[in-house]
Chains A and B, each alone.
Chain A
Amino acid sequence: MARKFKTSYQEDLALFQNLWVKAWLAILVALLMLCPQVLSRYQLSILNEMGIAAIGALGLNLLTGYTGQISLGHGAFVAIGAYTSALLTGRLDVPFWVSLPLSGLMAAGLGMIVGIPSLRLKGLYLALGTLAFGFIVEYILFHWGLTQGDMGMAVKRISLFHFTVRTEEQFFYLIVVFAVLAAIVAKNIARSKIGRAFVAIRDRDIAAEAMGISLAKYKVMAFAISSFYAGIAGCLTAHYQKWIVPGSFDIALSIAYIAMIILGGLGSILGSILGAILITGIPHGIVYLSDFFKQHFPSLSGLIVDFKLGIFGLIIVLTLLFEPHGLFGIYRRVKVYWKTWPYKY
């Protein structure tokens, strides 16, 4: 048999399914710790972006992949996190270790407000509501004197108890710690009672309610958790980029996050991380390729921005048409294939 049957709830709820998973994760962490020694600054900066994106994608996957609530406004929550932390540390001199959770909570609070209509709205209506929310947040950031509109805001460096995070390397360790924490928390949410309630709501909300799951509680909770993740990702983005403008948190960012979770695999922790890595990596790949082609076709260089969005769109469409379970689905299929080879089942 390809799949090992689980015979107890303890097994099904285990954080790590078996010894192999633990071993591979240990190797992965060791490799990550080695990265700063081996990679150049540019390569590290790509990894940093990927780490931040992974945090945001984990949040969106908890909402969309697990609970089945469509959100086209994830970029707006990232923006809220970024601006909250920028304003708190910049204007009020709040230390980073306070502003980080506060920016998450701020996003979570607004996320709950957006989530309340989700009790009445489904599918399409929710998608439109979150889309409109995204546009309104962008509008407010552009027109509010406090956020300085499209001039942008400078953001302070992160300082933790007299230690200031300056280099890519230090950022890398910081972001890895947060990304790993985010993944573990997400996994714990997904495998416990809350996650099971989320999945039940996704699969059939009316049936879930009939089984005694409080729709109101869990839907709003999903929105809050997801926006909390987005807020944390936004806060890290702000301090990492040191300069934020409203334009960088537009609908394109929300679409990029959706592309991540669709490509990676809806309803999968590993998938969110894989998707974040690939979708963040693709623009850098395009830049690399276009540098190569520029020598032969100089007119191409202006088209990179167009290509980026188009390729994200193409990835979303192709994944949904041909591999709806995303990379995680491919991974699972390949695993089953090798386990059962030469038999099909």
Chain B
Amino acid sequence: MEKIFEIVLQGLSMGSIYALLALGFVLIFKSTGVINFAQGELSMVGAFICYTFATVLHFPYLLAFLMTLVLGAVLGAVVDVVFFRRMVGEHLFSTIMVTVGLASILTCIAGILWGHDVYAIRSPFTDRTVRLGNIVLSQGGLYTIGVSILLLGLFVFFFNRSLLGIAMRGTAEDSDTAGLMGINVKKIHMAAWSIGALVAAVAGVFLAELSFVRLTMSHTGVKAMAAAILGGMQSIGGAIIGGAIIGVVESFAANYLSGTEMGNFHFGDIKDVAAFAIMIVVLMIRPHGIFGKEKVERL
């Protein structure tokens, strides 16, 4: 029983990172209609920025974290201005492919700047644990869970109560009409990209906390998409729940399936494809996710 509890909590701390990434993903999708395949890459760049400030330049951790947030937001704004301002109203295929291209470009630049080595960020939570009865948990994991719950509340409030949030929802619904209503669509898109990239950078820093900083950490972005799909692309709460579900399933798969064999097929790192398997099943059974609504199309 305790083991199961521990696995669930481990899964939740990983899941909240997926949830954070999925949150940024849903945020950008909700307000600009762009499906950002470069979300994982943005988080990877965020983690590398934090690593540069905290470990290479010896800034205090909190300051490095804040710098990461600022630079992450700036990166998002730059991406919007350079790539997506021209793409407004383009075909879905083109926008998806531009983000795929952007992902390759970001990986290339990060590879040149930071190389293919594995780094670690030293933070106040490193190697600290919390004991709950017989269960030992890392502080970093708990902080990640806490921060994602906090951000969830913040964003739900933001989208339902603040003027900017409502303007973002309106822009997502129909950017032409939103423009006619006096909303500055360009500004809204830029804000969405900034916030989305900022959330991705936060997720990257927390992910670095649980594992390491390296180029391949951007693969987490695809799993986050699985989380967003599971929750329904339109829903912030769905993104969080989707992330949690995928994290927990992965955690169970890692604990009970890894290392086992079936015939001459050994499962190995099954945890890495569990998310994709879930995603395919969800896409087949309920493509619009748990909280998503089916869009009615008009000719």
User: Nearest Cβ in chain B — how far from A9, in angstroms?
Assistant: 26
- Looking at the complex, which one of B97, B265, B276 makes contact with A262 (CB distance below 8 Å)? B97
Given the complex, which residues of B lie within 8 Å of A68, measured CB to CB? 93
A78 on the interface (CB 8 Å rule)? no
- Looking at the complex, which one of B90, B264, B297 makes contact with A206 (CB distance below 8 Å)? B297
Given the complex, which residues of B lie within 8 Å of A313, measured CB to CB? 100-105, 107-108
Cross-chain pair count, CB within 8 angstroms: 132
User: Nearest Cβ in chain B — how far from A218, in angstroms?
Assistant: 18
B293 on the interface (CB 8 Å rule)? no
A216 on the interface (CB 8 Å rule)? no
- Looking at the complex, which one of A123, A131, A136, A309 makes contact with B93 (CB distance below 8 Å)? A123
- Looking at the complex, which one of A121, A132, A311 makes contact with B287 (CB distance below 8 Å)? A121
CA distance A255 to B268 in the complex (A): 26
Q: B83-97 vs A: 1/0 string, CB under 8 Å?
A: 100110010111011
A331 on the interface (CB 8 Å rule)? no
Residues facing B in A240-256 (CB within 8 A) are 255
B299 on the interface (CB 8 Å rule)? yes
Contact indicator B104/A309 (Cβ below 8 Å): yes
A129 on the interface (CB 8 Å rule)? yes
B35 on the interface (CB 8 Å rule)? yes
- Looking at the complex, which one of A64, A128, A307, A317 makes contact with B98 (CB distance below 8 Å)? A317
Contact indicator B86/A321 (Cβ below 8 Å): yes
Contact indicator A144/B265 (Cβ below 8 Å): yes
- Looking at the complex, which one of A135, A255, A258 makes contact with B273 (CB distance below 8 Å)? A135
Q: A298-327 vs B: 1/0 string, CB under 8 Å?
A: 000001011101111111110011001000
Contact indicator B98/A306 (Cβ below 8 Å): no
Given contacts A70-B93, A206-B297, contact A146 B105 (CB under 8 A): no
Contact indicator B265/A321 (Cβ below 8 Å): no
B272 on the interface (CB 8 Å rule)? yes
Q: Which of B90, B98, B100 has most A Cβ within 10 Å?
A: B100
Q: A188-221 vs B: 1/0 string, CB under 8 Å?
A: 0000000000000000101100100000000000
A160 on the interface (CB 8 Å rule)? no
CA distance A311 to B107 in the complex (A): 11
Interface of chain B, helix or strand or loop or mixed? Answer: helix
- Looking at the complex, which one of B87, B92, B222 makes contact with A321 (CB distance below 8 Å)? B87
**Chain A interface category by residue count:** 35 or more
Interface of chain A, helix or strand or loop or mixed? Answer: helix
B266 on the interface (CB 8 Å rule)? yes
CA distance A143 to B96 in the complex (A): 31
Given the complex, which residues of B lie within 8 Å of A262, measured CB to CB? 97
Contact indicator B222/A131 (Cβ below 8 Å): yes
Contact indicator A312/B222 (Cβ below 8 Å): no
- Looking at the complex, which one of A125, A140, A310, A320 makes contact with B283 (CB distance below 8 Å)? A125
Given the complex, which residues of B lie within 8 Å of A206, measured CB to CB? 297, 299
- Looking at the complex, which one of B102, B108, B267, B277 makes contact with A306 (CB distance below 8 Å)? B108
Given the complex, which residues of B lie within 8 Å of A305, measured CB to CB? 111
Residues facing A in B183-229 (CB within 8 A) are 222, 225-226, 229
Contact indicator A136/B273 (Cβ below 8 Å): yes
Q: Which of A121, A125, A324 has most B Cβ within 10 Å?
A: A125
Residues facing B in A273-316 (CB within 8 A) are 303, 305-307, 309-316
Contact indicator A128/B229 (Cβ below 8 Å): yes
CA distance A128 to B268 in the complex (A): 24
User: Nearest Cβ in chain B — how far from A206, in angstroms?
Assistant: 6
Residues facing B in A96-155 (CB within 8 A) are 117, 120-121, 123-125, 127-129, 131-133, 135-136, 139-140, 142-146
Given the complex, which residues of A lie within 8 Å of B87, measured CB to CB? 320-321
- Looking at the complex, which one of B92, B107, B265, B276 makes contact with A132 (CB distance below 8 Å)? B276
Which residue of B is nearest A305, CB measured?
Answer: B111
Contact indicator A128/B267 (Cβ below 8 Å): no
Given contacts A124-B92, A124-B233, A129-B283, contact A258 B112 (CB under 8 A): no
CA distance A210 to B283 in the complex (A): 25
27 examples of A-B residue contacts, CB within 8 angstroms: A70-B96, A123-B93, A124-B92, A124-B233, A127-B35, A128-B226, A129-B283, A132-B226, A132-B276, A135-B273, A136-B276, A139-B273, A140-B265, A207-B299, A303-B112, A310-B104, A310-B105, A310-B108, A310-B111, A312-B104, A313-B100, A313-B102, A316-B98, A316-B101, A317-B105, A320-B87, A321-B98
Closest 3 CB pairs of A and B: A310-B108, A313-B104, A145-B264
Known: A314-B101, A321-B83. 17 other contacts (CB 8 A): A70-B96, A124-B92, A125-B283, A127-B37, A128-B283, A132-B226, A136-B280, A143-B268, A262-B97, A306-B108, A306-B111, A307-B112, A310-B105, A313-B100, A313-B108, A314-B104, A317-B102
